A and B are shown apart, each in its own frame.
Chain A
Amino acid sequence: DAKTTQPPSMDCAEGRAANLPCNHSTISGNEYVYWYRQIHSQGPQYIIHGLKNNETNEMASLIITEDRKSSTLILPHATLRDTAVYYCIVRVNYGGSQGNLIFGKGTKLSVKP
């Protein structure tokens, strides 16, 4: 089972920041938080990942709380093309670990004009 809890759906106005929350209260010290998204029926797309520090790349920012029990993915200026299902996934990142991803139900983000 997925180790994360996300709201099933969210709306966001075009041009505004989209803040997608994720609860992972049972996260272990060696588990990373990953975010992927799936646009319509395309293959999922990697967005960002982090361990405990906040991370930023060209797509998004990831804010992880100090106790690491929750995180927020921030899309700074959402566009209509960001409409997708966003998946928050926790997994370990050490040699010998299983690399597969365990997807939950995700959050369906609808960006509206």
Chain B
Amino acid sequence: DSGVTQTPKHLITATGQRVTLRCSPRSGDLSVYWYQQSLDQGLQFLIHYYNGEERAKGNILERFSAQQFPDLHSELNLSSLELGDSALYFCASSVSAGGSYNEQFFGPGTRLTVL
């Protein structure tokens, strides 16, 4: 158990819908990262928040957005869903924003299926 929790574990929805994935980092970790893992693209970095502020963006679509709240949990919002958005979505947390020793702890993931 990494100490990172993600809800829900599974999500099945239809094209065009909007969903919210939630992540709670390990106690004391200020950074939250979101990654997407699909069969054809592998593990792709989406976005990074540190202590409530966006720090870096990766291959995140404009239909996707995220935020980190004052209690440090984070939510990833996916809208206008398409079949190709079906994937595993992982959240990871770390103590720092990217400086020395930045081991990331990954949650169990949310499996999103878009029908």
Q: Give which listed residue, B99, B103, B111, contacts A97 with CB less than 8 A.
A: B99
The answer to whether B58 touches A94 (Cβ under 8 A) is: no
Q: Which residues, 59 to 100 on B, are CB-close (under 8 Å) to A?
A: 88, 90, 92, 94, 96-100
Q: Give which listed residue, B48, B90, B100, contacts A43 with CB less than 8 A.
A: B90
The answer to whether B90 touches A99 (Cβ under 8 A) is: no
The answer to whether B106 touches A103 (Cβ under 8 A) is: no
Residue A105 interfacial (CB < 8 Å):
yes
A38 to B98, CA, bound (A): 21
A98 to B4, CA, bound (A): 20
A87 to B45, CA, bound (A): 14
Q: How many residues of B contact A (CB 8 A)?
A: 33
Is chain B's interface secondary structure helix, strand, loop, or mixed overall? strand
| Chain B 31-50 interface 0/1 with A at a Cβ cutoff of 8 Å (1 = within) | 10101000000111100101
Residue B25 interfacial (CB < 8 Å):
no
The answer to whether A100 touches B45 (Cβ under 8 A) is: yes
Q: Give which listed residue, A41, A95, A98, A101, contacts B104 with CB less than 8 A.
A: A101
- When C-beta atoms are compared, the residue in chain A nearest to B100 turns out to be A93
Say yes or no: A44-B102 contact (C-beta < 8 A), given A99-B96, A100-B33. no
19 inter-chain pairs at a CB distance below 8 angstroms, sorted by A residue, are A41-B111, A43-B2, A43-B92, A43-B107, A46-B105, A92-B98, A93-B100, A95-B99, A96-B99, A97-B98, A98-B48, A98-B55, A98-B56, A99-B55, A99-B56, A99-B96, A100-B33, A100-B48, A104-B42
User: Ordered nearest first, which 8 A-B pairs have the shortest CB separation?
Assistant: A43-B106, A99-B98, A103-B43, A95-B99, A100-B45, A97-B98, A98-B56, A46-B103
Residues of B within 8 A of A (CB): 2, 4, 31, 33, 35, 42-45, 48, 50, 55-56, 58, 88, 90, 92, 94, 96-109, 111
Residues of A within 8 A of B (CB): 38, 41-46, 49, 87, 92-105
